[in-house]
Structure 1
Amino acid sequence: MAEEPDYEALPPNAGTMVNMLAGALAGISEHAVMYPIDSIKTRMQVFSASPVAVYSGVGNAFTRISSTEGMRALWRGVSSVIIGAGPAHALHFGTLEAVRELAGGNRGGNQMFATALAGGSATMVADALMNPFDVIKQRMQIHKSEFRSVLACARHVYRAEGLAAFYVSYPTTIAISIPFNAIQFTVYEHLKHYLNPRHDYSPGTHIVAGGVAGGIAAAVTTPLDVAKTILQTRGTSADPEIRNARGMVDALKIIGSKDGWKGYARGLSPRVLTTVPSTALCWLSYEFFKAAIRSN
């Protein structure tokens, strides 16, 4: 009997398109499933003057938001993610596979540099597209948000704060995403090869490796994620210092001055709680769609 081919090593004629389509489908799946927890993370990271919008934990936030605003409030802004996540993840995974191939990451042995380079390169391209959608998403997630549609939010932010408001957090996003994706992709690849040395299609392997890799990357980059949230929601704050924050350094100073060292861990638990299953689902979906598309 002929030996079964390694699904990862199948020679796809449309390799880039396969990876981009698989990435787009995986990205939408990842963000949509865990969106309510992401909404809680955003609210926990925002410095609010209202005690009603201050939460002690994920359970406390979920109970209070659902009882006072309804469950729908936890899904507000999800359409922005769905619109942006597909194209952004398509670019991410397309770039990921292309750079990995060019850097020699598909050769045998430990290719740590190539995999880290591929992860970092992919996120710079994807985040350039996703950043405006992420700003809109967080403006819609906050307590008492006035926005009920992506278009209305985008128009308001542009008229009130200009185009720069959609990209004021981009350097911070890159500062988060490059180490996040380099850590995630490197840990994922090493765990995947360790758990599945035969490179068979193994959903369990992709779930475990993806979840562990995402959780580690999320925990390490949480302080910068708090700074990003401060910048992306600054236009909604009544605090002049926050409204005038011009970049990552200003945001980090504000966090330290207002909340001390513990401020840099704001939203850590919902961030990790969101990231572990979402990255597990993302990698599972990516590998599944890649295998399914190639087989057809």
Structure 2
Amino acid sequence: MSTEKKALPFYLTFTAGAIAGISEILTFYPLDVVKTRMQLETGKTSLGLVGSFQSIIKQEGFGRLYRGLVPPLLLEAPKRATKFAANDFWGKTFKQLTGEKEMTQRLSIVTGCSAGATESFVVVPFELVKIKLQDKASTFAGPLDVVRQIIRNDGVLGLYSGMESTFWRHLWWNGGYFGSIFQIRELLPKAESPQGQLLNNFISGSIGGFVGTVINTPFSQVVKSRIQGTAKVPGVVPKYNWTYPALATIFREEGPAALYKGFVPKVLRLAPGGGVLLLVVEFTLGVFRKALGPPYL
């Protein structure tokens, strides 16, 4: 958003983020289920993307591809609102601290990482519930059953299992996402029409989603799924507990390729998903600006 425009009220930014997030997740959620299944596999063999889809549909039915959808749907409004509001807040803060009048490539990366770190505190409980429901071995009746059992067994703080790995996941992804969006927008030809602007947003958001996925997958995504998907046994130290030691364990026992388990379905979702997200956000904000008129235009 241009710094010359008056900032829209928070509730409109919140609404735009919610609409974009829900649109993205309804479109790409089955790929997220397959990605999680692939990442929870602990052996050196994998069914692959197509094989995992076929196995889930054949053995569990098509509806299983949308198992665990409720938590991320409930999460999308606060998650996307937090992402974009935090990115805007940190962008203004860092520009003031550095004396920069305009956003730069360096600041866009730092701002994105800070927004991701902020966002991670919101998403952990919802991500934990989603992964518990997506696991093939899941016996939970639904989201509320997951929450009840976690609180009963581990207390309220149990809902924040995997906080550290989630923190790194969102920090790296958002840094790559917003940093790439800034650079790609600078490189793309200036849009001469609303349709051209939408196309530019989709292209820059898609590339940002791809870059963010490449950066964050080996650092946290696989580890995060392992940490949150493993049942805790009293008196036993979990095999996967902290992000970077867990990365070393997976690398040593399963090889470097294991760090990119689930990468294909993840990038197939988050690359175009990042494009859809940015496109819908900017389109919705544009509608709000036109409705409000100057000085928001």
Give the TM-score of the pair, scaled to structure 2: 0.86
Offset of residue 174 of structure 1: 1.7
| Residues 200-238 of structure 1, C-alpha deviations (whole Å, 9 max, x = no match) | 64111111111111112102211121011100101189x
Q: Is the CA contact (8 Å cut-off) linking 2:95 and 2:103 kept in structure 1?
A: no
Distance 1:40 1:261, change over 3 A: same
* Counterpart Cα distance in 1 of 2:232 and 2:193: 49
Offset of residue 178 of structure 1: 1.4
1:294 matched to which residue of 2? 289
Q: Is the CA contact (8 Å cut-off) linking 1:38 and 1:270 kept in structure 2?
A: yes
Which stretch shifts more, 169-178 or 71-80?
169-178
Count of residues paired in the alignment: 284
CA RMSD of aligned residues (A): 2.6
The residue type paired with residue 65 of structure 1 is I
2:294 matched to which residue of 1? none
Distance 1:115 1:249, change over 3 A: closer
Offset of residue 99 of structure 1: 2.1
1:63 matched to which residue of 2? 54
1:193 matched to which residue of 2? 186
| Residues 36-60 of structure 1, C-alpha deviations (whole Å, 9 max, x = no match) | 00000000011358x9xx7421111
1:269 matched to which residue of 2? 264
Unaligned runs of 5+ in 2: 292-297
Candidates 243, 249, 255, aligned match of 1:248: 243
Q: Is 1:94 matched with 2:85? A: yes
1:280 matched to which residue of 2? 275
Unaligned runs of 5+ in 1: 1-6
Q: Is 1:234 matched with 2:234? A: no
1:135 matched to which residue of 2? 128
| Residues 75-94 of structure 1, C-alpha deviations (whole Å, 9 max, x = no match) | 00010001112111111111
Q: Is the CA contact (8 Å cut-off) linking 2:28 and 2:269 kept in structure 1?
A: yes
Q: Is the CA contact (8 Å cut-off) linking 2:181 and 2:205 kept in structure 1?
A: yes
1:160 matched to which residue of 2? 153
| Residues 16-46 of structure 1, C-alpha deviations (whole Å, 9 max, x = no match) | 4433322222222222221100000000011
Q: Is 1:25 matched with 2:19? A: yes
| Percent identity of paired positions between Structure 1 and Structure 2 | 23
- Secondary structure at the aligned position of 1:67 is classed as helix
1:183 matched to which residue of 2? 176
Give the TM-score of the pair, scaled to structure 1: 0.86
The residue type paired with residue 100 of structure 1 is G
